[in-house]
Amino acid sequence: MSTRSADLLIVGGGVVGLSVAYNCAKRGLGKITLLDRGRIGRGASSRNLGGVREQFSNEPMIRLMKYSIDVWEGLSKELRWNVLFDQKGYLMLARTESQAEQVKQNVRLQNSIGVNSVVLERDDVAEMLPQLKMDGVKCASFNKRDGAVHHDAVLWGLERAARRHGVEIIENVEATKLCTTSGRINAVETTAGTISTQKVINATGVFSRDLALTVGIDLPIRSFRREALVTEAYKHFLKPVFWDLTLGLLLSQTLRGEVLCDTRDPGNEESRDTGVSLSFLKKLAREVCELFPALGELHVLRQWSGTYDVTPDGSPILGESDEVSGLYFASGFTGHGLMVAPALGRLYADYLISGKKPKLLEPFRLSRFAEGKPIVEPLVAGRKIA
Amino acid sequence: MFDPEKLTISRSSKLHRPRGYLCGTGMCPNCMMRVDGVPNVRVCTLVGNKKPRLEIQNHIRLLDTFRLTQKFSGLLKPGFQYTHFNDSRGMSNLFYGFLKRFTGLGRVATTSKLKRSTERLEVDNLVIGGGVSGMNAALKASNTKVSPNGSRQGSVLLVDTYGALGGDIVQRWQTTMGYSELLRTKIEEVQAVISKVIANERIKCLMNTRVVGYYKDENTFLAISERSTFEIRAKNVFVASGGHEVLPLFPNNDSPRVMLSLGAQILMNQRARLPQSAVVLDLNGLGPLVAADLVERGKMSSVKLTRTEGFSTEEIDLCNQRSIEILPKSIVSNVKNSGSVYIKSLKEEDQKKYDAGLVVVCGRYQPNFELALQLGINLRLVTGTAEVRILQGAAGVNAVSATAVGSLVNGSYGLGSSSPEESGQIIFDITTDEYMRHFAKSSDSYVCLCEDVTAKDMYDSIEMGYDYVESLKRYTGCLTGPCQGKQCALNTASMLNMMNPKTSGLLTTPRQPLYPLPLWSVASE
Ligand SMILES: Cc1cc2nc3c(=O)[nH]c(=O)nc-3n(C[C@H](O)[C@H](O)[C@H](O)COP(=O)(O)OP(=O)(O)OC[C@H]3O[C@@H](n4cnc5c(N)ncnc54)[C@H](O)[C@@H]3O)c2cc1C
């Protein structure tokens, strides 16, 4: 790769980078190049559980996800590729009084924004989850527009569509430095030469802090290891995505019949390691046996882990940098990058073409931390957000 | 439990193809059944004399009676789920509902098992594998003084999945039989080593136990047996996990009539009744002895033996003495569930039809490389005849088994290396074999039994650009099923290598656990 140029350079070939690349190319934004230091999708995007939901507890995220699900619903058709978005519903289980209160409050907020989530009483919960041990169950929130996708299908569909629309995809090349002239991006140095460009999207997930630091911006993003496991395939028995708010245990059965499981990381330490642990396996096994005794017979097939790009308030950092113009952030997803990616693709295309920041993105600006307006989101699978 | 009149004991996950007893050692998905209400149990590894209630899984009468999924298998190619039913939400939803109705193997249990406690063991030396390599490693380790002051001799724990020491050779030939002078001496050698291990009081053996993975976070090896869960910590570890046979490619290689040779010999050990006739397909050199065993112990009246190469005079004598018909320089070109086996000479075009109750495959050995990779031992991929090279591994981590089987009649049988100082790498021979050359594009030769991926599916997917292991595995599903690559890693690697010799990073590190384990087995406090 010699010196080249691009109208838009996207660094990071995860689901977010691909979605932005595809949407911008489709809208005719000029020459678009997407770089990844490895192969496409080998970061968090191929290591997640595919959960998609509107059930959040803050307004900006509920609005963003409401829009994203609209896009998800038409995405298979748009990409001519079935992304296996199964709207099987998402259930959050409350087993303490305070959780029950929280769940009801969330549902009220969601309903006020036009999300039709409901509170399920004990009987409804028992009916929906016949294997669940009902001791101590208070209630649950449920939303039938939520569900799960197959992450690899999403990646392949986006990659194909991006290529069809002329996006240049370069694998195994790393962006090493952002270059500026008088406060504007003018080039990016890579391991294979310099690419000149006026606009860069930093969609490098847990590495986005490193890249931003090359122009002196310190993104408040930390990396945490996040483990998961999958079982052998069984005949379908689990309808919705299940999430227990007390333990953080999450179960979701795929269309192939395997059960994806995860829970709060017992270590919960800052790390970029993607190894797996025995302590996680044992913790998860105990929790499944406690809540669903009969599911103790499920066979664990494979453990793996990925990383979460975590912000202090649990919400992503989006939009153009105030300090360096031409530099756009798209990271800090704290475990929700896949589900928002379709919305982000559309919104960034609007943004870059019109030059006007879409309303839905506005609250997620980096300066919210300095302004004291964090978007606190406690509903983060696998982690406790302070 | 084996019944020659009822060879079909399970149905494959996607195409509902009939499947039967194949490997006998828990290295394939074919014998997964519902046992006393518990789904996905590999019945070949059940121990004890109780007669459990067995139910076939994934049998859907409507589909299976008319073999619908098999007839329409052309529509169910890898990736079919992405390229269809994407025009409208309604169609997609119907499709997802349909998938949920038909995918998955067993129905989940309705009862629960009690949690059980975990035993924690601390040892100086852990030896994984009780074959000759493992036993020799254990013997040497037990004589090595341990630090800090070198005053004490080290304790050794040897773990093996089998119920007896000695590895595959002992499972195959539990008593010394008169087929071959060489076999007899080899078995005597092995038995001498076994006696030494048993006599050595510093060596403890944990049999019928599987090491399912190494976990860095607790510096622990997790091991599971029918009755207990073990967490083992060791200062030194010797990976002597050997290898296992895998199926070659040929049309209908997944038929319930096809069995791996070790599986067949284990059945004979258990005195199971076998069909009257067999074709033995030899890719690992053990063919003549296995054929002889089928005549002698299996009481078969008609046994034929085929190999892509020729036979030595000793081998010919051995077969002649037992009226075993040999078919040199030929390949099995099809197997029908009805019992017709087609064999083709490599020189001529025409194929001949034979009747055989079983096709017994002496398959190539795939090294049990998973644990070694987790421990950071090099995997050296070779093409051509595997030579054993020893390299230094990380401190305290040793690989002592080189998987090599050869002809026990001609004297080239490798019995592993024997020195614990010889730490190094595991050799993975990915040479394209004759069967792969012939059937690389065959749409009814299965590479992956778990997800019903054919050679053609793999070939086409690689051509479409899914041309490195990680993407190929995600796209086709090979390496991701319940056998976790134990039947398909060799064929996958060798096919990738054949089509694109530049593929690097050939195999990804397999994730824990290396053998599926029930959640309750690790749920204790
Ligand atoms: C176990 C687990 C479960 C999850 N479950 C869900 C879920 O249910 N629902 C959901 O919505 N989300 C979930 N997530 C989160 C989701 O996977 C991520 O938020 C999402 O994939 C982020 O996508 P991304 O494109 O921002 O980042 P990534 O996929 O991590 O992509 C970043 C890419 O940037 C590349 N890169 C980094 N630095 C450079 C550089 N300097 N130059 C070039 N390339 C570079 C990397 O190689 C990588 O490919 C989960 C995550 C994990 C780990």
State whether B82 and A233 contact (CB < 8 Å).
no
Residue-wise pLDDT tens digits, B62-83: 888 888 888 888 888 999 999 9
Note the pLDDT of residue A386: 44
Q: Is B523 on the interface with A (CB under 8 A)?
A: yes
Which domains, and CATH codes, for chain A? 4-48+152-221+313-371 (3.50.50.60), 88-146+223-308 (3.30.9.10)
Instruction: Please tell me which of the candidates B92, B218, B512 has its beta carbon nearest to residue A279.
Output: B218
Instruction: Please tell me which of the candidates A81, A234, A300 has its beta carbon nearest to residue B82.
Output: A81
- Rounded to whole angstroms, the Cα distance separating A10 from A19 reads 10
Q: Is B45 on the interface with A (CB under 8 A)?
A: no
Q: Say how many Å lie between the CA of residue A40 and the centre of ligand 1.
A: 11
Note the pLDDT of residue A259: 98
SS (H, E, C) B371-393: HHHHCCCCEEEECCCCCCCCCCC
Residue-wise pLDDT tens digits, A172-199: 999 999 999 999 999 999 999 999 999 9
Is residue B523 assigned to a domain?
A: no
Is residue B251 assigned to a domain?
A: no
Is residue B512 assigned to a domain?
A: no
Q: Which residues of A touch B38 (CB under 8 A)?
A: 297
Is residue B522 assigned to a domain?
A: no
Question: In the predicted model, what is the mean pLDDT of residues A352-380?
Answer: 95
Note the pLDDT of residue B105: 93
- Candidate from A40-49, A270-279, B39-48, B182-191 with smallest mean pLDDT: B182-191
Is residue B511 assigned to a domain?
A: no
Maximum average pLDDT range among B42-51, B239-248, B277-286: B277-286
Q: Residue B484 sits in a domain of what CATH number?
A: 1.10.10
Residue-wise pLDDT tens digits, B429-441: 788 899 999 999 9
Note the pLDDT of residue B282: 94
Token pair, residue B414, equals 């490798």
Identify the band that residue B419 occupies on the pLDDT scale cut at 50, 70 and 90: very low
B240, B369: one domain: yes
Backbone angles phi, psi at B274, to 5 degrees: -105, 160
Residue-wise pLDDT tens digits, A122-138: 999 999 999 999 999 99
Last residue of a domain, one of B307, B334, B362: B362
Domain that holds residue B445: 433-503
B419, B437: one domain: no
The alpha carbon of residue A3 is apart from the nearest alpha carbon of chain B, in Å, by 27
Note the pLDDT of residue B421: 40
State whether B105 and A237 contact (CB < 8 Å).
no
Residue from A333, A334, A339, A380 to probe ligand 1 pocket by mutation (most atoms less than 8 Å from CB): A333
B375, B422: one domain: yes
B391, B490: one domain: no
State whether B519 and A255 contact (CB < 8 Å).
no
Which residue CA neighbors atom 33 of ligand 1 most closely? Answer: A12
Note the pLDDT of residue B6: 92
- Which residues lie with the beta carbon below 6 Å from any ligand 1 atom? A 11-17, 35-38, 42-45, 47-51, 174-175, 203-205, 207, 211, 226, 228, 262, 306-308, 331, 333, 335-339
Question: In the predicted model, what is the mean pLDDT of residues B220-249?
Answer: 91
Note the pLDDT of residue A81: 97
Identify the band that residue B420 occupies on the pLDDT scale cut at 50, 70 and 90: very low
Q: Is A380 on the interface with B (CB under 8 A)?
A: no
Backbone angles phi, psi at A323, to 5 degrees: -85, -40
B166, B238: one domain: yes
Is residue B322 assigned to a domain?
A: yes
B238, B378: one domain: yes
High-pLDDT (> 70) share of chain A, %: 98
Residue from A10, A37, A200 to probe ligand 1 pocket by mutation (most atoms less than 8 Å from CB): A37
Nearest to B486 by CA among B453, B443, B455, B515: B515
Q: Say how many Å lie between the CA of residue A343 and the centre of ligand 1.
A: 16
At position A82, the amino acid (one-letter code) is N
- Residue tagged 């035993």 (tokens): B119
Is residue B520 assigned to a domain?
A: no
- Rounded to whole angstroms, the Cα distance separating B280 from B264 reads 11
Residue-wise pLDDT tens digits, A329-350: 999 999 999 999 999 999 999 9
Residue-wise pLDDT tens digits, A13-36: 999 999 999 999 999 999 999 999
State whether B103 and A157 contact (CB < 8 Å).
no
Query: Average model confidence (pLDDT) for chain B?
Result: 85
Whether pLDDT at B505 is above 50:
no
Nearest to B88 by CA among A148, A74, A153: A74
Identify the band that residue B96 occupies on the pLDDT scale cut at 50, 70 and 90: very high
B271, B294: one domain: yes
Query: Average model confidence (pLDDT) for chain A?
Result: 95
Is residue B107 assigned to a domain?
A: no
B421, B345: one domain: no
Nearest to B364 by CA among B222, B230, B487, B201: B487
Note the pLDDT of residue B406: 43
Note the pLDDT of residue B342: 97
Q: Which residues of A touch B111 (CB under 8 A)?
A: 294
Report the number of distinct structural domains present in chain B: 4
State whether A288 and B215 contact (CB < 8 Å).
no
Q: Which residues of A touch B98 (CB under 8 A)?
A: none
Residue-wise pLDDT tens digits, A222-251: 999 999 999 999 999 999 999 999 999 999
B418, B450: one domain: no
Could you give the ipTM of this predicted complex? 0.94
Note the pLDDT of residue B423: 42
Last residue of a domain, one of B428, B445, B469: B428
B162, B84: one domain: no
Note the pLDDT of residue A169: 97
B240, B379: one domain: yes
Note the pLDDT of residue A172: 95
Q: Say how many Å lie between the CA of residue A226 and the centre of ligand 1.
A: 11
Token pair, residue B522, equals 């690790």
Question: In chain A, which ranges are E strands?
Answer: 4-6, 8-11, 32-35, 51-52, 90-94, 118-120, 139-143, 147-148, 168-170, 175-181, 184-190, 193-197, 200-202, 222-233, 241-244, 250-253, 258-262, 299-310, 317-320, 327-331
Backbone angles phi, psi at A52, to 5 degrees: -135, 125
Note the pLDDT of residue B148: 62
Choose between B524 and B16: higher pLDDT. Answer: B16
Cβ–Cβ under 8 Å, residues A208 and B79: no
Residue-wise pLDDT tens digits, B369-405: 888 778 877 666 665 433 333 233 344 555 554 444 4
Question: In the predicted model, what is the mean pLDDT of residues B483-508?
Answer: 81
The pTM for the full model equals 0.93
Backbone angles phi, psi at B435, to 5 degrees: -65, -40
Q: Residue B330 sits in a domain of what CATH number?
A: 3.50.50.60
State whether A289 and B107 contact (CB < 8 Å).
no
Note the pLDDT of residue A384: 62
Q: Is A298 on the interface with B (CB under 8 A)?
A: yes
B280, B358: one domain: yes
Question: In the predicted model, what is the mean pLDDT of residues B162-190?
Answer: 81
Q: Which residues of A touch B92 (CB under 8 A)?
A: 76, 82, 85
Number of A to B CB contacts under 8 A, please give it. Answer: 175
- Candidate from A76-90, A146-160, B203-217, B235-249 with smallest mean pLDDT: B235-249
Which residues are bridge partners to A305 per DSSP?
A: A227
